[in-house]
Amino acid sequence: MRKLLRSLCFALPVMGLMEPASAWAQTKVLFEAMHAQTAGNADWVLDEDSCGTAQRYPTPAQSGITATTPETYWGGAYSSFGVALVKKGFSVESLPGGGRITYGDTSNAQDLKNYKVLILPEPNIRYTTAERTAIQAFVKNGGGVFLISDHGNSDRNNDGWDSPEILNELMTGVSWGLHFQVDGETDAWFNDNPDSKYTTDTTSPIVHAGAYGKATVGKGLGLFGSTSITLNPTANPNAKGHVWMTTGTVGSNSRVTFATSTDGTGRIAAIGDSSPSEDDTNGCGHTTHNGWNESLYDNALIHLNAVAWLGGAGGGGGTSDTTPPTAPSGLSASAVSSSQVNLSWTASTDNVGVASYNVYRSTDNASFSSVASVSGTSHSDTGRTASTTYYYRVTADDAANNESAVSNTASATTPAATSAARVILNEILVNEPGSDVTKEFVELVNVGGTSIDIGGWSIWDSTAKRHTFATGTVLGAGKAIVVYGATSGIPAGTPNAVGASTGALGLANSGDTVTVKNAGSTNVDSFVVSSTLAGTDGVSANRSPDASATGSFVLHTSVSTVGSSPGTRANGSAF
């Protein structure tokens, strides 16, 4: 079967800058603001009601914006960008700190499936593997992403990573054909104003045939501290340059300053500098450049043309694919507790590539409902009722939303919820990412069938007691709790996490012993983390099978595509 594609039909005659707002009605643009976009002097947000925090909906409400509304309507250095989009009829939101980047997660109100365009303004914190996977799936399935980098060595939060490196890492595993030059590479830091070497391709939706008009000869972009982009047409023949450095050659694969590409049915735009898209509406001690309103350059026009193209205007989109994947096979189901059924199946194949799998559940083996969309070939269905038989089927989706035929049906019956509580060590991260010891963690899971009070219980390493659980701490059946080296090390959105009561876990990268003791100082569980399991930066030791009292510890990358999964199951689903 083929799913109905959720797309918008755009009437796009030749338009000037006063395009009727109705042309983009209901087209939602999401500005990502949870990766240190306000670190240092940065202020790449639409609006901040409190310093360092961009709320989901900028205030005042965008419904009050008219043709004469000034950029100061909102308080971030991306206010001009956002206000201009609203004037064109787009709807804008921020993804604030504490938010989640997901694709196909119906529990997330800001899941990327709810948007058409995602703008990534100069991120200063790396995207997790799960976040990268979600963004890549968003593009493959028809979304548009705008990569806004800055010059090499622009690490505004001093964590060792700058935006060119972070955006290059975001493109790991996909063939977008784009590379931002990083510190130490040619043309990773330069000024160029005006930057106006335009493509000779008159169909360019960025500079010649854009929804909002044609860029003016000689104006171009005002680049003040930029990196350049290198194209790889071998990896992706749709990777195209639209503007080149003054010292570059039009049509070449290097010294590109504005580029586009496609993947599946989605689109990518990229620029090497944040100066053209920012304004000087800012506070909180930030200092920004008024690039958006510089009349000397076509900064605003080029960016608006790019968003319109990312949203579906003009040609040059992804490929047309009407062939569905093969049906998943070998589906099996196993009730691992009174509230959880684990599923696994054999991967499908597709002429382009499988993007995700849909899990369907039934209690009568007749009427099935969709309960999850996952990228891998396994799923943990939690929150089930004890003593109940559940039936499952799985289908595969490709990037064009073609859905396969259904798999075989598998069933499992959950046991009665009478088993005693049993707390185990399930995941241990000894070798924290970035040498930040506050991010070391120990995850406990109650694999039993009843809740248990773990107040007064403690966690030890090989030398000392490192944490004591607060009085009244209850760990529910099938639930997890995570103890980090310090509260400051807990990533935003990590469920049921606490900082070590002593201020450190003290785990040694050369190997260590982690022990859980109850309030009577009796050992509940203990594990010796070998140097083999502790030797990879950012990769934890995890039970295999996950959350199994009899499972052995292995590298997390052996059970998942990510390096760790604190507070969630190895496949990213909730406990």
pLDDT in tens, the chain (575 residues): 333 322 223 333 333 333 434 455 558 999 999 998 888 877 888 988 888 778 899 999 998 999 899 888 998 889 899 999 999 889 999 999 889 999 999 899 999 999 999 999 999 999 999 999 999 999 999 999 999 999 999 888 899 999 999 999 999 999 999 999 999 999 999 999 999 999 999 889 999 988 888 999 899 999 999 999 999 999 999 999 999 999 999 999 999 999 999 998 899 999 999 999 988 887 777 778 788 888 899 999 999 999 999 988 765 554 455 788 999 999 999 998 888 999 999 999 987 677 788 999 999 999 998 888 888 899 999 989 989 999 999 999 876 667 899 999 999 999 887 678 999 999 999 998 777 899 999 999 999 888 999 999 999 999 999 999 999 999 998 999 999 999 999 999 899 999 999 999 999 989 999 999 999 999 999 999 999 999 888 999 999 999 999 999 999 999 898 999 999 999 888 88
Report d(CA 238, CA 552) in Å as an integer. Answer: 46
SS3 294: coil
pLDDT at 293 (0 to 100): 87
Name, in order, each residue with C-beta under 8 angstroms of 158's C-beta and a sequence gap of 6 or more: none
pLDDT at 321 (0 to 100): 59
Print the SS3 string covering 347-382. CCCCCCCEEEEEEEEECCCCCCEEEEEECCCEEEEE
What amino acid is encoded at 51 in this protein? C
pLDDT at 400 (0 to 100): 62
Residues of the chain by 3-state class (helix, strand, coil), percent to 5: 15, 30, 60
pLDDT at 468 (0 to 100): 97
Model pTM above 0.85? no
Domains plus CATH for the chain?
A: 22-310 (3.40.50.880), 329-413 (2.60.40.10), 423-558 (2.60.40.1260)
Name, in order, each residue with C-beta under 8 angstroms of 68's C-beta and a sequence gap of 6 or more: none
pLDDT at 282 (0 to 100): 78
SS3 557: helix
